[in-house]
Structure 1
Amino acid sequence: MPQVIIFNKPFQVLSQFTDTENRKNLADYITEAGYYAAGRLDFDSEGLMVLTDHGPTQHMITGQQWHKTYLVQVEGRANAQQLQQLRQGVQVKDYMAKALNTEILAKKPGWVWRRDPPIRERKNIPTSWLYITINQGKNRQVRRMCAAVGLPVLRLIRSQIGALTLEKLLPGEYKFVKFIK
């Protein structure tokens, strides 16, 4: 049976176990041998990563049938038209990126931890919090999608992959979970 680890990747940590530039990476947090990331998160993104010791499981988790949900803080007041554009699809580099679901939140969710360093705040420019669900997961996709509709991303936290969630893990914490297909 495949073993699965969920990990809350902190801000500015690489989604790999080695680095030639001596930046923080998975090896600074995860001591288990033989595990590989099922997908990546950008250096500046935070949140849920899934690791497994089983190649076919790794491939399955990164596939399009496993939806990925992100909590996104953007610069500006998001509106229904921008969210509709994300759902209809926007051109990002050489492909069409489409959100399966989008939602504007009234305020930052209570479970969100403080980031160190904090995001830049501009007194005259408000921010919005969104949930965005996708099934592609290409490099910097959510950031590029939001920028395409005029919403630069300030903070991006992956909160869910398929049925797997952060489960109240703090940044840098991990745990073994029962694998659910």
Structure 2
Amino acid sequence: MKVFKPTYRHFVTYKPYGYLSQFKSNDSKQQSKRFLGELYDFPEGIMSIGRLDEKSEGLLLLTTDGKMSDYINSQKVDKEYYALVDGDITDEAIEKLSAGVEIGFDGKKYTTKPCKVFKLNAAPNLPERSKKIRDARHGPTTWVSITLNEGKFRQVRKMTSAVGFPTLRLVRVRVGSIHLNSMQVGDVVEVEHFNV
């Protein structure tokens, strides 16, 4: 009997704060950086689908299938983030974020596409971050949900700053229909396929 060997391999991971969305580096300037390859023995040809910057954390999909990566990175698939912002965010700021705001991208001005934004009634049940976030003694903070189907570099951070509420913590919680759920920081789960 033949054993079925999948052509492609797919993984769901909770990227920790302070890690780069790459697997290793040959760049001597990045010697002190942390990489996804420390979390798991990934196969050759693995790539992250849409990056999370070093200070962002949460759901990151990995695959050896370039077509799958292109599809999930396309504007057909929603990505939801929970952002802890500095200050008590106003309804006006939420409306501006929803409608689209002007940010800088590649040295040019860029207006973000309309997206879904709302204030969370309570802090989400997320694992504690490895690096402490400033506490309430320094003023109020607000958790908001932001769902985009585009992904410019540091887009969510630039958007919240543009309306006067800088992001203190950023966690991607959903890609399409794949949720972070109860995953813990650094978890890596191999799946047969992505149902996005």
Q: Which amino acid aligns with 2:87?
A: G
1:42 maps to 2:53: yes
1:97 maps to 2:103: no
Q: Tell me which residue corresponds to 1:32.
A: 42
Structure 1 residue ranges (4+ consecutive) displaced by more than 2 angstroms after TM superposition? none
Return the match for 1:3 from 2, 9, 28: 9
Q: TM-score, normalised by structure 1?
A: 0.94
Gaps of at least 5 residues in structure 2 are 1-6
Structure 2: distance between partners of 1:114 and 1:99: 31
How far the C-alpha of 1:2 sits from its partner, in A, is 4.0
Return the match for 1:120 from 131, 134, 158: 134
Superposed CA offset, 1:102-133 (max 9, x none)? 110122112x1111111122514100000000
Task: Number of aligned residue pairs: give it.
Answer: 180
Q: Percent identity at matched positions? A: 33
Structure 1: distance between partners of 2:167 and 2:156: 9
Q: TM-score, normalised by structure 2?
A: 0.87
Q: Which amino acid aligns with 1:30?
A: Y
> 2:137 is paired with a residue of what secondary structure?
coil
| Counterparts in 2 of 1:179 and 1:37: CA distance versus 1, 3 Å | same
Return the match for 2:21 from 3, 6, 15: 15
Gaps of at least 5 residues in structure 1 are none
Q: Which amino acid aligns with 1:180?
A: N
Assess if the C-alpha contact under 8 Å between 1:70 and 1:132 holds in 2.
yes
Name the larger-Rg structure. Answer: 2
Structure 2: distance between partners of 1:137 and 1:55: 17
Q: Tell me which residue corresponds to 1:137.
A: 151
Q: How does 1:44-123 map to 2 (within 5 A)?
A: 44-93=55-104, 94-110=109-125, 112-121=126-135, 123=137
Assess if the C-alpha contact under 8 Å between 2:100 and 2:115 holds in 1.
no
Q: Which amino acid aligns with 2:111?
A: M
